[in-house]
Structure 1
Amino acid sequence: MELSRLAVPSVYGLIFFLGYPSQWMLMYLEPGPLTKNELIAANLVLILIFTTYTKSVFVDPGTVPKDWAGKKEFGNANGTMAEKEAVGKSRKWCRKCDAAKPPRAHHCKECKRCIPKMDHHCPWTANCVSHTTFPHFLRFLFYTTIGLSFLESLLFTRISQLWSDRDMPSYLGPNSFQLGHLFTTLVANSITLFALGVLFIRNLWCLAVNTTTIEGWEIERHRTLLRRARHFGGYLEGGDGTKIRIKKQEFPYDIGIWANIVQGMGSANPIAWFNPLAPTPSLQSGLLFASNGFEDADTTWPPPDPDRAYRRYDTAVNADAFTFQESALDAQETLAAFKARQAEDEVRRRKPFLERAEASLANQRVEQWNGAEDDGYEYGEDEVKDRYGSGEHEGEEGWRNSEGERLKDFGLDEEVEFYDEHEDEIPLSELLARRKAASGSSSAYDYS
């Protein structure tokens, strides 16, 4: 059994352990048993925690409809020009889902699909925190922080009483089992309260500025590229040697604190924000997001990244694709050969960047090694790898932010995020289908 499958049962077990046995324990410790109001409050908060956690685990994080781009971008009877313009800002294509991506959507390697407004894949809920699950997840963090803080105050009251009675005979105090239970509960509660408290504050900040955890990573990445570009006249070199201009770009989805909260919680009613049974935001509202208008209408997010740009060839790498050289193959073998060429093209497309990253890392290791220790001893290859790293998976797709996090740490499929989501890779058949849909539905709009 995978350990990840034990995460959700473990969390349920932790909630039960901190919630119910502790009530029994506190009934037998000075300065006295829990009052009726304290018992009601403790059990009410437990119900809220169980309810919100269950919804965080079992609510569907959403999926992107296959025909989303056609319906939204090229219009239907209910569409608007504002919708079409906002959707046009995405211009992404997911190869694994074989579908267009709306803004803020990402491909989750655990859920095996694109998730609308994906924040991260939470291992403790075995579910994505997304447009549909974020309100439930935030309510879970809120009520858990309240419940753990309440339990912490009750525990410290009993520990303070024990300390003041430390000179009393031991038979007048709790037995060894009660003491062990008390300190075990205190340690478990304190660690959990600290971790979830920090996570709650971080998610509150994300709600206020309307960013996701992934977008926070993208913002930091953009700032890093800006700092690099200042030393090279505002340009950075891509994988094929072409220079790409890097200019400051504002995050487009921060539309004001109140509007951010309303969008993130799915309701403008503050009472509904705290309601554990509040309805889940509609999937449709997670496919289109208002912009603050700080950038031009055709500006996309995330900003351009030279290390994610494709290599442009003067001549097609598959120039002989229409040369029939395999007349001896049957239909099945021909199909297999075609798929093999597709795989080779995919590797060829990624190879320039990977070669550049590996070569740079290799040069750095050699320079560090030659300049650091020249004691006449010839170190073996394994010793060099142990000291300076093997160079594997240390390219830009392995780039870490200031907290040491990679995109894959948030549950993203790095292969998709770095190589498979560019507008230039949209299949020709899809472009033709979009053009056909556009010409067929243009009469649905009145432009006069």
Structure 2
Amino acid sequence: MELSSLSVPSVYLLISFLAYSSQWLCLYLEPHPLERKHVIRLNVILVCLLISYTRSIYTNPGQIPKKLGDGSEDVQAGRKTGGNRQRWCRKCDAVKPPRAHHCKECKRCIPKMDHHCPWTSNCVSHTTFPHFLRFLFYAVVSMIYVASCLWTRCVFLWENRHLPSYLGPSAFQLAHLFLLFVINLVTLFALSILLIRNIWCLAVNTTTIEGWEIERHEKLVQRAKYFGGYLDGPDGIKVRIQKQEFPYDIGIWQNFKQGMGTGNIVAWLWPLSATPPIETGLGFETNGFEDPSLSWPPPDPDRLQRRVPHGSDKSEAAFTYRDANLSAEETLAAFRRRQEADMVRRRKPFVQRVEAQVALEKDNEEDEYASDRSEGGEGSVEGSESGEEGWKNSEGERLRDFGVDEDVEFYDEDEDVPLSKLLARKMRATATQ
């Protein structure tokens, strides 16, 4: 059994322990049992908490409709509201809408993916974010309520600490009270930070992944300033890096409406509110601060694919006459093997490039790499921030830490729809006329 399968039961167990065992304990502690009105309020909040948490677990995080990959009107809508770049996910074999990412846990592209949450075993996405935010809100409110009840008993015990022990609670009750208070306080602190962070992301209309991308872009812009605005890309090309504003921040009120799926403030807190439809997560309104031809995320040197594979300019690599003696079936099979091998023409991962560089410099008995590495220079694995896939933000997080499939994000994503798909669209369009 994997540990991840225990995360959801652990959360339910923690909720039950903090909420219900505290109510039971307060029946036996001075100054008095919980009043009826306090019990009702706390349990109403707990019902809202359990409903919100359960919905954040079992609500479908979204799946790109098949018709989107067939060139429907949704594709054009997504391009108009998310930039002219049309991304293609090779693993899903479908169009990837703006703000979507391929989740390595869910094994598919998730619309407006925020992150894959291990405590819900589900993606926080366009459809599940409202439930997830309500879960955080009611969790924080309920723990504040529990903390206030426990604090009253703790203060009473401290004020009467000089009385004989037989007049007070038993050792088990004291241990129970201490454990409840500490666990509730630590969990409240952690979830309060998470709630504030998610409300902030909602207000500025960014996801956790997009926050990572914004920080990454700022680092690239900062580094490019020292190289005349350009950074090295694959095959020696120069990639121009210039400051680009985040396009999806359309104002606080509109951001809240879009993120929560409605402008009804009461519905924001109602645990049975409707889930935002998947159609509203295929394209997003932009603020118009940037040229419409630009899209998010901005250009990244290591996300660019090779335009010409290494060795294609060598005569021995040509295959025009290499298969002259093969039959028609064998020639077709050989062509398909070459086609599959060349399907993803990608730059080597950053670590492999560094290892190759180190090996080359060792052969030449050069010590420049060691010097650069000790100084955090260009040759350093830790110090390079010019666009490697292993880059970490200020909190030490990579894209894979949010559940994103890095192989898809950096290598198996194409900026253009494959020719076979375009031809299929053309044939369907002709057939319907």
TM-score between the two structures when normalised by the length of structure 2:
0.87
Q: How far does residue 89 in structure 1 lie from its aligned partner after superposition?
A: 3.0
Distance (Å, rounded) in 2 between the aligned partners of 1:157 and 1:356: 61
Distance (Å, rounded) in 2 between the aligned partners of 1:41 and 1:439: 63
Equivalent residues in 2 for 1:298-317 (5 A)?
A: 298-313=293-308, 316=312
2:141 corresponds to which residue?
A: 146
**1:174-214 per-position Cα deviation (integer Å, ceiling 9, x unaligned):** 10110111111112111111111111000000000000000
Equivalent residues in 2 for 1:37-48 (5 A)?
A: 37-48=37-48
Q: Cα gap change, 1:169/1:338 in structure 2, threshold over 3 Å: closer, same or farther?
A: farther
**1:353-390 per-position Cα deviation (integer Å, ceiling 9, x unaligned):** 664343457779965757999xxxxxxxxxxxxxx999
Equivalent residues in 2 for 1:31-430 (5 A)?
A: 31-69=31-69, 70-72=71-73, 85-86=80-81, 89-313=84-308, 316=312, 320=319, 324=323, 327=326, 335=333, 341-342=338-339, 344-345=341-342, 349-351=346-348, 355-359=352-356, 396-424=388-416, 426-430=417-421
Distance (Å, rounded) in 2 between the aligned partners of 1:428 and 1:29: 73
C-alpha RMSD of matched pairs (Å): 3.2
Q: Cα gap change, 1:172/1:361 in structure 2, threshold over 3 Å: closer, same or farther?
A: farther
Unaligned runs of 5+ in 2: 375-379
Q: How far does residue 248 in structure 1 lie from its aligned partner after superposition?
A: 0.6
Which amino acid in the other structure matches residue 46 of structure 1?
L
Q: Cα gap change, 1:366/1:280 in structure 2, threshold over 3 Å: closer, same or farther?
A: farther
Q: How far does residue 351 in structure 1 lie from its aligned partner after superposition?
A: 2.8
Which amino acid in the other structure matches residue 396 of structure 2?
G
**1:236-263 per-position Cα deviation (integer Å, ceiling 9, x unaligned):** 1102111111111010100000000000
Distance (Å, rounded) in 2 between the aligned partners of 1:206 and 1:326: 62
Q: Secondary structure at the match of 2:346?
A: helix
Which amino acid in the other structure matches residue 47 of structure 1?
V
Q: How far does residue 277 in structure 1 lie from its aligned partner after superposition?
A: 0.2
1:383 corresponds to which residue?
A: none
Q: Secondary structure at the match of 1:41?
A: helix
Distance (Å, rounded) in 2 between the aligned partners of 1:407 and 1:17: 34
Q: Cα gap change, 1:13/1:83 in structure 2, threshold over 3 Å: closer, same or farther?
A: closer
Q: Cα gap change, 1:352/1:296 in structure 2, threshold over 3 Å: closer, same or farther?
A: same
Q: Cα gap change, 1:322/1:108 in structure 2, threshold over 3 Å: closer, same or farther?
A: farther
2:377 corresponds to which residue?
A: none
Which amino acid in the other structure matches residue 166 of structure 2?
Y
Q: Cα gap change, 1:235/1:371 in structure 2, threshold over 3 Å: closer, same or farther?
A: closer
Decide whether the 8 Å contact of 2:302 with 2:347 is kept in 1: no
Q: How far does residue 165 in structure 1 lie from its aligned partner after superposition?
A: 1.1
Q: How far does residue 225 in structure 1 lie from its aligned partner after superposition?
A: 0.3
**1:85-107 per-position Cα deviation (integer Å, ceiling 9, x unaligned):** 22553410101000010100000
Decide whether the 8 Å contact of 1:239 with 1:352 is kept in 2: no
Q: How far does residue 344 in structure 1 lie from its aligned partner after superposition?
A: 4.0
**1:384-437 per-position Cα deviation (integer Å, ceiling 9, x unaligned):** xxxx9999xxx922211000001000000000001122314x321012234556
Which amino acid in the other structure matches residue 27 of structure 1?
L
Q: Cα gap change, 1:108/1:322 in structure 2, threshold over 3 Å: closer, same or farther?
A: farther
Decide whether the 8 Å contact of 1:72 with 1:84 is kept in 2: no
Distance (Å, rounded) in 2 between the aligned partners of 1:366 and 1:432: 54
Q: Secondary structure at the match of 2:259?
A: helix
2:17 corresponds to which residue?
A: 17
The number of residue pairs the alignment matches comes to 417
Decide whether the 8 Å contact of 2:59 with 2:128 is kept in 1: yes
Q: Secondary structure at the match of 1:396?
A: coil
Distance (Å, rounded) in 2 between the aligned partners of 1:92 and 1:9: 38
Q: Cα gap change, 1:202/1:298 in structure 2, threshold over 3 Å: closer, same or farther?
A: same
Decide whether the 8 Å contact of 1:102 with 1:288 is kept in 2: yes
Q: How far does residue 152 in structure 1 lie from its aligned partner after superposition?
A: 1.0
Unaligned runs of 5+ in 1: 76-81, 374-387, 444-448
Decide whether the 8 Å contact of 1:61 with 1:129 is kept in 2: yes
Q: Cα gap change, 1:283/1:343 in structure 2, threshold over 3 Å: closer, same or farther?
A: same
1:79 corresponds to which residue?
A: none
Which amino acid in the other structure matches residue 66 of structure 1?
K
Q: Cα gap change, 1:164/1:366 in structure 2, threshold over 3 Å: closer, same or farther?
A: farther
1:379 corresponds to which residue?
A: none
